[in-house]
Amino acid sequence: MNIREYDLTGKVAFVTGAGRGIGKGIAQVLAEAGADVVINALTPQYVEGLAADIGKATGRRVVPLMADVTKTDAVEGAIARILREFGALHILVNNLGDAIRKPLVSLSDGELRTILDLNLTATVLCSRAAGPHMLARRSGKVINIASFASAKGTPNLTIYAAAKAALVGFTRALALEWAPHGIQVNGIGPGLFPDPVTVGEAGYRQRVEDATRTVPLGREGRLREVGLLTLYLASAASDYMTGQTLYLDGGLTL
């Protein structure tokens, strides 16, 4: 069954922090839907092989792009390269994020800044850099990956939760700012989506076991599921939705 509103043929997507974890699932589904995808990571360790695998499986152009998207110069260079090589950028997925699980009083200044940069600054910088192109074209889709922690307090994740809550507010405000220009800005708040590449096989098994006890639906999330919701927000199917953050968390935030 082909549903034309979900067809991304001819679209170009940029997914930050996509070498592993949730970003990997997002990149895979967007390419399956017909998009050419630029997948970003800080180093080539995971992203080069992933780009080759997705490209081979889908027949789409999938390009790795190494850049530190918490830095203005690197972000502007990355967006300029995408526009130069692809001619357009239709979909921006601000997926980069990570946590340092520590009590607030134990966080160093460097750790505090790192958490804020990974979970908020990078999204602001990428949106600002992509904005002029999308505003000039009067179309675009921006999807910001938040977290269930933006809606539910979690001990030892205070700054992470604060950054993700700020990301939800940023999503709402930017959606209003860009709505007159035909651009939709939405977010996703994932719950527990472990990746064995990120946490190791033992860590993955432990998180799967934990999810059976802590998640109302009784299981962990699967990376592809975030990709499928991202596809909805990146496609014409969501043209009448903006400023929303959808919690894909098995009921954790209820």
Domain that holds residue 128: 4-248
Handedness of CA 116, 120, 122, 125 (dihedral sign): negative
**Confidence class for position 203, pLDDT limits 50, 70, 90:** confident
Residue 2 predicted with pLDDT over 90: no
Question: With 80 as the cut, is the pLDDT of residue 55 above it?
Answer: yes
What is the rounded average pLDDT of the residues 65-93? Answer: 98
Question: pTM score, two decimals?
Answer: 0.96
Active-site hit among 6, 160, 232, 247: 160
Q: Is 247 a catalytic residue?
A: no
Domain for residue 200, yes or no? yes
- Cα 70 to Cα 53: distance, rounded to the nearest angstrom: 27
Where residue 9 sits, what CATH number does that domain have?
3.40.50.720
- Residue 19: name the closest of 86, 69, 85, 71 by CA: 69
Sheet strand arrangement including 183-190: 62-66, 36-41, 12-15, 91-94, 140-145, 183-190, 245-248
Would the CA dihedral through 220, 13, 94, 146 be positive or negative?
Answer: negative
207 is written with which tokens?
A: 């998180």
Which phi and psi angles does 129 have, rounded to 5°? Answer: -70, -35
Q: Does residue 128 belong to any structural domain of this protein?
A: yes
DSSP secondary structure code for residue 97 in this structure: -
**Number of domains comprising the chain:** 1
Q: 48 lies in a domain?
A: yes
Exposed/middle/buried for residue 101 (C-beta within 10 Å: 0-12, 13-18, 19+): exposed
